[in-house]
Amino acid sequence: MRMRIAGIALVPMFFMVFNGVDNLRSELRRLHVHTALLVRSQAIDDSPVWSPDSRYIGANIQGKWFKVDLSRVNLLEATWHGERLGSVGSDEGLEPITKGKAREWDKVTKHGNTYLTGKSGVRAEFNNDELSTFLTLSKGTQRVIVFKSDIESCGAPTFSPDEEFLAYICETNGVLVTDVGEAFSTAKNHD
């Protein structure tokens, strides 16, 4: 059975629950994907923020801040613009946090509008091609296109403090997170 929500088709399937901060990576590997939709909302008001230990991601939905505990994420297989990815259920795992906590997290979060370069030299960049947006990751001479969306604007790239993950907003779906290392390993190279 496949469900389609705002351009995302969800496929319910059996999944195991892993404990620990590495659960998001385990879930991504279980599904053989590098990207997951972790906050499903068309009403994201601000760039995502990360906790200092990269365990939580925060999102502002209609003026209220929420967090997702990445150690408790359970993903479903989904498709988005023809690409496979993981996705949480509707409001699964969203817990409220204070504006003060979000401000604390914002201090350790590096944001960009359309591009961002991390301390490791990895550059994340959103480019537009008519009505499409595509995300490119590059480091040195290596360059990969992570995805291309149709008729959807994406941006606000935000590295986790450990720079292992990149969070960003796609306006008709919400906050997505990409495992940077896996994206380099599995995406098509473009020189």
The residue ranges of every structural domain in the chain are 3-111+156-179
Reply yes or no on whether the pLDDT at 62 is more than 70.
yes
Predicted pLDDT of residue 188? 55
Helix (H, G, I), strand (E, B) or coil at 112: coil
pLDDT band at 3 (very low <50, low <70, confident <90, very high): very low
User: pTM for the complete prediction?
Assistant: 0.85
Predicted pLDDT of residue 22? 79
> How far is CA 172 from each of CA 9, 30, 42, 123, rounded to the nearest angstrom?
14, 26, 5, 24
Running DSSP on this structure, what letter comes out for residue 2?
-
pLDDT one-digit tens code per residue, 6-34: 454 444 433 333 333 479 999 999 999 99
Instruction: Residue 73: name the closest of 114, 105, 37 by CA.
Output: 37
pLDDT one-digit tens code per residue, 68-108: 999 999 999 999 888 899 999 877 789 999 999 999 999 99
pLDDT band at 190 (very low <50, low <70, confident <90, very high): very low
Owner of token pair 């604390």: 104
pLDDT one-digit tens code per residue, 130-154: 778 899 999 999 999 998 887 788 9
